[in-house]
C-alpha cells in the first residue's frame, strides 16, 4: 500500500531525528567519558604530588609511621591500586601493600618532572604516576600512585538506562511535536489536493477551496487563492471552447447540407447526362451511320471525311459521358468491405489485355497472394485503370515489362505498379490526377484523362493515398496505400 504525504513526511523526519539524537547521544557520551578519564588522571596526578610534597618532613626525619599515614591517606577511592614512596634506586620506603616495604620497585632515578606510565598487573591495565619529592635541588624520593583503567566506567548500566530513557522521552516529545506541525500543514494540502482531483472543467463538478483555506496568510493560502483564480480562468476558457465547439458544429452542419445539396445536384447532372444528353447523341450517331451506310456513294471524299470525323467525335463524346458517370458512381456508391486478392485481380486484367492484343509480348512480374481489405468492385476498377495505363504506355517499348508488388515507403506499406514505358515529366506530376489533364498527346496515346482521377477517388474512399513517380522514356511507377474500414493500416504491418 502506498503511503500518503503525511505518513511519508512523519516517517522520514522521525528517522532523521532518531539518527540525529543517537549520533548526538554517542558524541556526548564519548566526550563525557574522555573528560572523565582526563579528570581521573588529573586527580591521580594531584594525589601523587600531595604525597610527594606532604611527606617531605617525614622523609627528612625518617618518620616511617608518618609516611605510612601519608601513603594510606592518598587512596580515597576503590579504583586506586597502590601508592608508595621509593628512593631513586627503587627501594620502597613505605607502601599501601605492606609486604612490599623494603623491596625494590622499578628504579626511576632522581626525577625532576612527573612520569606517567601504563603498567599491567594480573591481566588488568593500570596507570601509574610518579612524582619526585625534592627539597631544592636535593632529590629525596619518588611518590607513586596507580589506579585501574577498567574500574568503574563512566556509564554504568543504570546510567545508560537513564540516558536512554531521557533520550527516548525527548525523542517521543520531538516526534509528537513534528507530527503535529506536519499534520497542521499537510491536512490543508491534502484537502486542496482532493478538491483539485474532484474538479473537472464541466461547471457541474467544480469544487472550490474551503473559505478558511482562502483566508490563510501562509503559502497554503496563497496556493489556494491561485487555484481559485485558475478555476475562474479555466471556466471562462471552457465557456469559450464550448461556444467555439457549437460554432464549428453549426458550420459543419451548414457545409454538410451544402454538400448534400451538391450531391443531389451531381445526381441530377448525372441523370441528365445519362438520359438527356445520350438521346440526342444517339440520334446524331444514328443518322451519321445511316448516311455512311446508305449515301456514302453520293458523297465525295471530303463529305465522307467530314462524316467520319462526326462519327468519331460522337463516339469520343459517348466515351467521355461513360467516364463521367463511372467517376460519379465511384464517389457515391456504398462500400462493401471484403478481403480481396489483388494479385489475382492484376493477373486477370493482364490476361484479358493479352487476349485483346495477342501480338504484344509483355513480361510481367506479379507478387503472389497480396491481399487487402476493401470494396472488390472499386478495387477492380482501381487496378484496371493502373494496369491499363501501364499496358498502354509500354506499347512502344521493345521489351515491355509490368511489375506489381508490395513495398515500404517511409515506413508505410504501399502497393505499386511499375512499367518501363513512356513515363512522364515529374514537374507535371501534380496534374496526374486532375480529370481530363493529359501528359501525352491524344494522337500518341488514346484516352480521355479520367482514369487516374477515378483511381485517386477510389483510394481516397479507402482512406489511403496515391502518387506517381517517373521519367520520360524510362517508365513510371504508381504507389497507393489502403486502410480498412476501421482505419487500420492495410495490410497490417508486422
- pLDDT tens figures, 242-301: 899 899 999 999 988 887 777 667 666 666 666 667 777 788 888 888 888 888 788 888
Q: Are 128 and 119 in contact (CB under 8 A)?
A: yes
Question: Whole-prediction pTM value?
Answer: 0.45
- pLDDT tens figures, 92-134: 888 888 888 888 888 888 888 899 999 888 888 899 999 999 8
| Residue 138 to residue 126: CA distance in whole angstroms | 30
Instruction: Taking residues 39-56, report their average pLDDT.
Output: 88
CB neighbour list of residue 223: distance below 8 Å, 6 or more residues apart:
192
Cell numbers representing residue 203 in the block: 461547471
Q: Are 466 and 456 in contact (CB under 8 A)?
A: yes
End-to-end CA distance of the chain: 40
The answer to whether residue 440 scores a pLDDT higher than 80 is: no
Contacts 24+ apart (CB under 8 A), 314-321: 314/281, 314/284, 314/285, 314/288, 315/285, 316/448, 317/281, 318/278, 318/281, 318/285, 319/448, 320/448, 320/450, 321/273, 321/274, 321/277, 321/278, 321/281
- pLDDT tens figures, 215-248: 777 777 787 788 788 888 887 887 888 899 899 9
Strands 363-366 and 401-409: parallel
Q: Are 29 and 163 in contact (CB under 8 A)?
A: yes
| Residue 487 to residue 47: CA distance in whole angstroms | 102
- Per-chain mean pLDDT for the chain: 80
301: number of Cβ within 10 Å: 7
Region label for 439, one of left (φ > 0), alpha (ψ between -120 and 50) or beta (otherwise): alpha
| Residue 119 to residue 58: CA distance in whole angstroms | 28
Amino acid at each position: 500500500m502506498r503511503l500518503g504525504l503525511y505518513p511519508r513526511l512523519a516517517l522520514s523526519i522521525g528517522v532523521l531525528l532518531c539518527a540525529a539524537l543517537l549520533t548526538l547521544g554517542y558524541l556526548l557520551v564519548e566526550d563525557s567519558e574522555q573528560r572523565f578519564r582526563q579528570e581521573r588522571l588529573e586527580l591521580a596526578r594531584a594525589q601523587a604530588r600531595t604525597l610527594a610534597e606532604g611527606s617531605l618532613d617525614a622523609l627528612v626525619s625518617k618518620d616511617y609511621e608518618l609516611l605510612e599515614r601519608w601513603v594510606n591517606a592518598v587512596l580515597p577511592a576503590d579504583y586506586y591500586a597502590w601508592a608508595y614512596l621509593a628512593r631513586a634506586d627503587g627501594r620502597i620506603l613505605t607502601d599501601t601493600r605492606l609486604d612490599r616495604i623494603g623491596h625494590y620497585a622499578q628504579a626511576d632515578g632522581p626525577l625532576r618532572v612527573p612520569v606517567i606510565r601504563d603498567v599491567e598487573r594480573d591481566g588488568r591495565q593500570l596507570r601509574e604516576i610518579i612524582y619526585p619529592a625534592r627539597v631544592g635541588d636535593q632529590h629525596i624520593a619518588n611518590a607513586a600512585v596507580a589506579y585501574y583503567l577498567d574500574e568503574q566506567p563512566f556509564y554504568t548500566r543504570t546510567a545508560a538506562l537513564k540516558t536512554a530513557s531521557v533520550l527516548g522521552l525527548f525523542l517521543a516529545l520531538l516526534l509528537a511535536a513534528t507530527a503535529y506541525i506536519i499534520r497542521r500543514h499537510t491536512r490543508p494540502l491534502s484537502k486542496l489536493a482532493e478538491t483539485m482531483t474532484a474538479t473537472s472543467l464541466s461547471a457541474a463538478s467544480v469544487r472550490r477551496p474551503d473559505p478558511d483555506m482562502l483566508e490563510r496568510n501562509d503559502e497554503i493560502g496563497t496556493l489556494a487563492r491561485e487555484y481559485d483564480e485558475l478555476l475562474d480562468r479555466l471556466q471562462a476558457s471552457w465557456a469559450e471552447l464550448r461556444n467555439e465547439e457549437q460554432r464549428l458544429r453549426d458550420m459543419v452542419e451548414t457545409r454538410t447540407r451544402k454538400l448534400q445539396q451538391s450531391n443531389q445536384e451531381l445526381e441530377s447532372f448525372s441523370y441528365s447526362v445519362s438520359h438527356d444528353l445520350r438521346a440526342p447523341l444517339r440520334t446524331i450517331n444514328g443518322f451519321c451511320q445511316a448516311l455512311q451506310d446508305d449515301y456514302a456513294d453520293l458523297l465525295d471524299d471530303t463529305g465522307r471525311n467530314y462524316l467520319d470525323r462526326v462519327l468519331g467525335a460522337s463516339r469520343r463524346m459517348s466515351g467521355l459521358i461513360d467516364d463521367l458517370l463511372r467517376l460519379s458512381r465511384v464517389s457515391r456508391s456504398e462500400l462493401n468491405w471484403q478481403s480481396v486478392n489483388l494479385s489475382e485481380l492484376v493477373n486477370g486484367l493482364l490476361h484479358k489485355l493479352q487476349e485483346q492484343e495477342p501480338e504484344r509480348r509483355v513480361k510481367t512480374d506479379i507478387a503472389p497472394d497480396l491481399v487487402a481489405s476493401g470494396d472488390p468492385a472499386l478495387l477492380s476498377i482501381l487496378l484496371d485503370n493502373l494496369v491499363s495505363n501501364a499496358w498502354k504506355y509500354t506499347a512502344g517499348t521493345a521489351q515491355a515489362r509490368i511489375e506489381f508488388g508490395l513495398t515500404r515507403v517511409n515506413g508505410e506499406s504501399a502497393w505499386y505498379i511499375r512499367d518501363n514505358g513512356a513515363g512522364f515529366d515529374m514537374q507535371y506530376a501534380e496534374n496526374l490526377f486532375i480529370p481530363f489533364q493529359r501528359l501525352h498527346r491524344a494522337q500518341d496515346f488514346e484516352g480521355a484523362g479520367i482514369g487516374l482521377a477515378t483511381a485517386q477517388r477510389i483510394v481516397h474512399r479507402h482512406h489511403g493515398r496515391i502518387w506517381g513517380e517517373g521519367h520520360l522514356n524510362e517508365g513510371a511507377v504508381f504507389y497507393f496505400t489502403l486502410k480498412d474500414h476501421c482505419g487500420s493500416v492495410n495490410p497490417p504491418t508486422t
